[in-house]
C-alpha cells in the first residue's frame, strides 16, 4: 500500500500509460480520479473515480481540481499523462497542427501543474509527475511539434521543482521510450520496428513498466527526489 490514503488525479487515463497508472495506484491504496475526454477502453480497478477533463481547457482544470478538493479535502498527487503524438516534419507543419500539439502536450501540463500547485501550496505536501518522452531529449526525424512540446515539459518540471521545493511540492518527469499502447499501435509499423530495433533491449516497454516508475515518484519513498528525470526506455538514451 505504497500510496495509502493519497488522493491522486491521473489525466489521459482512458487507455495506455494513464490506464495502467490508474489501476496500479488504486491497487496501492490511493483514491484515484481517472480523467479523460473519452471513456476507458476497459474497466478500471475497483474504487476508481472518473471525470471528464479536456486538458487544454483552463475552465475544465479549475473545475476538476476544485471538485476533488471539495470532495476529498486535498489533492496529493497529479500525474500529467494526457498527450498526443504526430510526426510532421518542420517544413510540412501547419500552424493549426502546431497549436494543437502544444495545447495538449505542453499547455495541458502547464494548466495541470498550476492548479495542482494552487491546491497543494501552503496546505499539504504534494507530488507532480509529468510524462515527457525520450523524444524530448533525443532527436527523431519529423515529429517537430511533439519534440518541442515534450522538451518543454522537461524544463517546466524542473522549474516547478525548484520554485516549490520549500513548499513540500515535488515535481519530476518520466521519459518513456517506445511503449506498447493504443497510441503507438496506431503508428506506422516500420516506424515502430525502427525504434524498437534501435533500443538496446530489443523490445518495447509496457504501460505497467512506466506506471511503476510513476509510482515511485508519487510515493513518499521519493521524498528527497525532485527535479529528476526518470528514463524508462530499454537503454535507448544510454547510447
pLDDT in tens, 109-130: 999 999 999 999 988 799 999 9
pLDDT in tens, 56-93: 999 999 999 999 999 999 999 999 999 999 999 999 99
Q: Is the pLDDT of residue 17 over 90?
A: yes
Residue 2 covered by a domain: no
Q: How confident is the model at residue 186 (pLDDT cuts 50, 70, 90)?
A: confident
The H or E element spanning position 59 is: helix 58-72
Please, which contacts does 105-109 make with residues 24 or more away whose CB atoms are closer than 8 Å?
Answer: 105/146, 105/149, 105/150, 105/153, 106/148, 106/149, 106/152, 106/153, 106/156, 107/56, 108/11, 108/55, 108/56, 108/80, 108/82, 108/83, 109/55, 109/80, 109/153, 109/156
Residue 1 covered by a domain: no
Could you list the active site residues? Answer: 146
User: What is the model's pLDDT at position 220?
Assistant: 97
CATH number at 40 reads 3.40.50.720
User: What is the model's pLDDT at position 182?
Assistant: 85
User: What is the model's pLDDT at position 211?
Assistant: 98
Neighbours of 149 (CB within 10 A): 27
What is the domain count for the chain? 1
Residue 151 covered by a domain: yes
Q: Is the pLDDT of residue 185 over 90?
A: no
Determine which of 51-55, 77-81, 136-140, 200-204 has the lowest per-residue pLDDT on average: 136-140
Bridge partners, 50 (sequence order) = 34
State the residue range of the domain holding 35: 7-238
Amino acid at each position: 500500500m505504497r500510496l495509502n490514503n493519497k488522493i491522486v488525479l491521473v489525466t489521459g487515463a482512458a487507455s495506455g500509460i494513464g490506464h495502467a497508472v490508474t489501476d496500479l495506484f488504486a491497487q496501492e491504496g490511493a483514491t484515484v480520479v481517472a480523467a479523460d475526454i473519452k471513456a476507458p477502453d476497459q474497466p478500471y480497478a475497483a474504487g476508481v473515480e472518473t471525470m471528464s477533463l479536456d486538458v487544454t481547457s483552463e475552465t475544465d482544470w479549475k473545475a476538476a481540481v476544485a471538485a476533488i478538493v471539495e470532495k476529498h479535502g486535498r489533492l496529493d498527487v497529479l500525474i500529467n499523462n494526457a498527450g498526443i503524438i504526430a510526426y510532421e516534419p518542420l517544413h510540412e507543419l501547419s500552424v493549426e497542427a502546431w497549436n494543437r500539439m502544444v495545447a495538449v502536450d505542453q499547455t495541458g501540463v502547464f494548466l495541470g501543474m498550476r492548479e495542482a500547485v494552487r491546491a497543494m501550496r501552503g496546505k499539504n505536501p504534494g507530488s507532480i509527475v509529468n510524462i515527457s518522452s525520450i523524444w524530448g531529449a533525443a532527436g527523431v526525424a519529423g515529429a517537430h511539434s511533439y519534440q518541442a512540446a515534450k522538451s518543454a515539459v522537461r524544463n517546466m518540471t524542473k522549474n516547478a521543482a525548484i520554485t516549490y521545493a520549500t513548499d513540500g511540492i515535488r515535481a519530476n518527469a518520466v521519459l518513456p521510450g517506445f511503449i506498447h499502447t493504443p497510441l503507438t499501435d496506431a503508428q506506422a509499423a516500420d516506424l515502430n520496428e525502427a525504434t524498437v530495433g534501435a533500443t538496446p533491449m530489443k523490445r518495447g516497454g509496457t504501460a505497467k513498466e512506466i506506471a511503476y516508475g510513476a509510482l515511485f515518484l508519487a510515493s513518499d519513498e521519493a521524498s528527497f527526489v525532485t527535479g529528476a528525470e526518470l528514463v524508462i526506455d530499454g537503454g535507448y538514451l544510454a547510447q
